[in-house]
Each structure stands twice: as C-alpha cells, then as structure tokens.
Amino acid sequence: MATQKELVAVVADQMGIPIETVTVIDRYLAEAGLRTRAARGRGNTPMTYQDAANLIIATAWEANPKDAVSLVEAFASLPAYRVKENVSVAGDALGPTFGDALAAAIEAVPRHKREFSLDDDKPEHMSFTVKMYREWLGESAEIHLVKDQRSHTFQYERPFERRKGTDKIVRDLRRTAEFSQITLGYVGEAIAEGFSK
C-alpha cells in the first residue's frame, strides 16, 4: 500500500501539478476528514482507494488549494443517476456515489491490467474515461467504461439541481476535467503495491 507521501507524489505526477501544491491540498483533505489520517511516529499509514479518489477530484480542477474540500464534497457525493446507453436508473453504477465509483475504478485498473493494456480492437479490451463537469447549475460527472466491446456510461448528478432556477438567464458555460485509465492505473498500482519494496 502507498504511504501518504507516495500517494501525493503519484497524483502530482499524473495530474501535472507541483508536488508542493498537492501536499497542501492533501493536508486540507486530511483536516476535513476526507483522507485517512497518518499515524504518529515512524509507522506509515497505508492510503485507501477512497483517499486516492478524493485527491484526484481535488486536483482535477487546478483550483485554489483552499477549495479542495468543497470540490471533494460536491463531486464525491454526487449520486448515481443513470446508465446513459439504456436510460436505466442506476442505483449502484459502479458505486452509489461518484466518489465510491471513482475509488472502485482506481482499484479495478491494476486488477485488470492486461485488459486495460490491450488494443481497442481486441474482444477483451477494457477502458475507462472519467469526465467531471462544472456548470452554472451545479456539478455532474460520468465514468465511461468499455468492457466486452460494449460501452457503459455511468452518470452521476443531482437530478433536481439541473432544473432549479429555470426562470434564470440560460448560460452555456461548462468546464470539463477529463482523464483515463492511465491516471487511474498509476494511482491504483501505487495504492495496491506501494513504491517501497
């Protein structure tokens, strides 16, 4: 399992953010109870997949580190809304919330490393693409999984937030943060195996 410092280092590398900034973000998350608290003394506290998911959410927007806690609280708690391809309501799409689903995806990539490494045209090929959106109506996210040559897009949002304020002026600005199984794989392997051997 990765230590806190190892997790910070791999997330900083994968998200392209200075390690000093990610260290500050990590500290804010720990103080808010959104990251496993490190044990005192010489022992290293292993980080969890949920810790990794929260740190990725907090760093995806290149926002001020002081906004890390509010970003994680907003995105990680997004409930599963539906599976886009079959318009079903997905009460448990990879996880009941976006944070849980992202943690599950981070854990899944190292376990299925061979399938995620295959070319797109191979029947066993798997891939993840994660998109997080910020718009004037609120946050939403989706995790696109290709498995067994079928696409599954798990959507996470608060459905009623999309309708609130419909009498207001319509704005079309939408910001997107996107990453794939490459980021999830590097971070997932760090959690699964750690760096110290």
Count of C-beta atoms within a 10 Å radius of residue 191? 24
Nearest to 155 by CA among 113, 73, 95, 195: 95
Query: Mean pLDDT over residues 61-84, rounded?
Result: 92
Q: What integer pLDDT is reported at residue 42 of this predicted model?
A: 64
Q: Are 133 and 139 in contact (CB under 8 A)?
A: yes
Q: Which domain holds residue 101?
A: 4-193
Count of C-beta atoms within a 10 Å radius of residue 174? 11
The CA distance from 100 to 91, in Å, is: 12
The CA distance from 187 to 105, in Å, is: 11
Question: For the whole prediction, is pTM greater than 0.85?
Answer: yes
Q: What integer pLDDT is reported at residue 136 of this predicted model?
A: 77
- Could you tell me the maximum CA-CA distance found in the chain, to the nearest angstrom? 59
pLDDT digits (tens, 9 = 90+) for 104-162: 999 999 999 999 999 999 999 999 999 999 987 789 999 999 998 889 899 998 876 54
Question: Is the pLDDT reported for residue 169 higher than 70?
Answer: no
Total structural domains in the chain?
Answer: 1
Q: What integer pLDDT is reported at residue 197 of this predicted model?
A: 39
Spatial CB neighbours of 109, under 8 Å, sequence gap ≥ 6: 116, 128, 181, 184, 185, 188, 189
Query: Mean pLDDT over residues 23-40, rounded?
Result: 92
